[in-house]
């Protein structure tokens, strides 16, 4: 298991955001698992085993001996990841304890009950998009506000506070920012969420924080509630915003696929799963071996980290034998890794699916003549962010 490749992430070719770059594809076809240098904004620099095949990724994510790779350092500075209450900071029973507390907020039944609220938010933002007129930036006017408003409603965040929340969330996931900028930004996030938690302690609302306080308030500190609130806010906003923007771009590039999503009222569920697989906007997953392990016949040593490229895995022919780099919204859904797998699988995945199933067809039906307002090669991508996406998406209709 030797060899070296560039920094393993969900890297894409320049100007082609819908497939892994050639080096990731080459590694995926190599039976050996290389050890590679990694620079991670939360974990620092280290060497890791790079996993690019879906079967290997599932084997790692399903095995509790591969721990999440993060750890809450009580002596270190607080950051978006280094705070209590973040599920990725815990394993075993401690992780299960926090996850049980949060599960009630994201059950299939509760998410379904949110459909009217999500539809209302989507329609209101489509009104705002139309009012902005042709040439509007889809990210600023639609893709960014929709998931932000949904998450803010779930957390009980007042309308007047949402612009600041959006700005701090974007700053927290931009790896181009310095450590000082990140620490300053997180301090503002923690102060705001702390004030919200204290208000909820006094009068719990009908939202996630209020529900956590009513059911588990005696077992959770304010610090833990702040961490839970911030993690839901950042994860629930940035990933869905990126998915709406990048999905729209992918569909605009393929009018036949766009027409299916727009015109067939039954197409959205499979289309969303295909877009989640194809785009894989979330960052690679990091795990750490708790003991010496065997992975696909090769040794991973105790303490060694493993980095899983979900983009490469989701584009492998072992997962999708026929045209894995091609968008096919009629493709039967496969067991992709866009939300991870195993004990740490994304707890909010059903809410994300709901938002995408509502937002994408609604956008295309409201604006049937939607098109890019710039040349394709002028679209700038968020290559320096933890969550991949587009910075701006000027559209006309």
pLDDT in tens, 87-108: 888 899 999 999 999 988 888 8
pLDDT at 271 over 80: yes
C-beta pairs of 221-225 under 8 Å, 24+ apart in sequence: 221/84, 222/194, 222/197, 222/198, 223/83, 223/84, 223/85, 224/84, 224/85, 224/98, 225/85, 225/193, 225/197, 225/200
CATH superfamily of 22-396: Cytochrome P450 (1.10.630.10)
Q: Which of 73-87, 205-219, 249-263 has the lowest mean pLDDT?
A: 73-87
pLDDT at 120 (0 to 100): 97
Q: What pTM, to 2 d.p., does this model score?
A: 0.90
More confident residue, 355 or 135: 355
Report yes or no: 179 and 82 within 8 Å, Cβ to Cβ. Answer: no
Q: Terminus-to-terminus CA distance in the chain, angstroms?
A: 52
pLDDT at 2 over 60: no
pLDDT at 162 (0 to 100): 74
Mean pLDDT of 197-205: 93
Kindly report the average pLDDT of the chain as a whole number.
Answer: 89
pLDDT at 80 over 60: yes
Q: Which of 152-166, 191-205, 271-285 has the lowest mean pLDDT?
A: 152-166
Model confidence pLDDT, tens digit, residues 234-261: 888 889 999 999 999 999 999 999 999 9
pLDDT at 5 (0 to 100): 40
pLDDT at 40 (0 to 100): 67
């Amino acid at each position: 298991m030797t060899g070296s490749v560039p920094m393993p992430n969900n890297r894409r070719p320049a100007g082609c955001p819908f497939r892994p770059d050639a080096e990731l594809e080459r590694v995926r076809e190599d039976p050996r698992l290389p050890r590679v240098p990694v620079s991670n904004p939360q974990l620092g620099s280290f060497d890791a085993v790079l996993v690019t095949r879906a079967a290997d990724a599932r084997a790692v994510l399903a095995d509790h001996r591969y721990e999440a790779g993060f750890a809450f350092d009580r002596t270190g500075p607080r950051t978006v990841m280094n705070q209590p209450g973040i599920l990725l900071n815990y394993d075993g029973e401690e992780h299960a304890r926090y996850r049980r507390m949060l599960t009630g907020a994201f059950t299939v039944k509760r998410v379904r009950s949110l459909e009217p609220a999500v539809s209302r938010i989507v329609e209101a933002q489509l009104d705002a998009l139309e009012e902005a007129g042709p040439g509007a930036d889809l990210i600023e006017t639609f893709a960014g506000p929709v998931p932000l408003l949904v998450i803010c409603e779930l957390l009980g965040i007042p309308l007047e506070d949402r612009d600041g929340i959006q700005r701090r969330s974007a700053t927290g996931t931009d790896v181009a920012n310095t450590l000082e900028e990140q620490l300053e930004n997180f301090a503002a996030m923690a102060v705001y969420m702390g004030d919200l938690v204290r208000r909820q302690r006094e009068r719990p609302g009908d939202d996630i924080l209020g529900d956590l306080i009513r059911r588990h308030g005696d077992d959770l500190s304010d610090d833990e509630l702040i961490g839970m609130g911030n993690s839901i806010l950042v994860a629930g906003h940035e990933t869905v915003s990126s998915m709406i923007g990048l999905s729209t771009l992918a569909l605009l590039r393929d009018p036949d696929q766009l027409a299916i999503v727009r015109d067939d009222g039954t197409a959205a569920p499979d289309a969303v799963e295909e877009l989640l697989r194809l785009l894989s906007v979330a960052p690679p997953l990091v795990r750490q071996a708790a003991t010496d392990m065997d992975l696909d016949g090769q040794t991973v040593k105790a303490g060694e980290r493993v980095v899983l490229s979900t983009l490469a895995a989701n584009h492998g022919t072992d997962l999708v034998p026929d045209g894995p780099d091609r968008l096919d919204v009629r493709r039967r859904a496969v067991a992709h890794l866009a939300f991870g797998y195993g004990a740490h699988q994304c707890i909010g995945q059903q809410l994300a699916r709901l938002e995408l199933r509502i937002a994408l067809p609604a956008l295309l039906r409201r604006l049937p003549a939607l098109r890019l307002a710039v040349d394709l090669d002028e679209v700038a991508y968020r290559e320096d962010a933890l969550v991949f996406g587009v910075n701006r998406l000027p559209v006309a209709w």
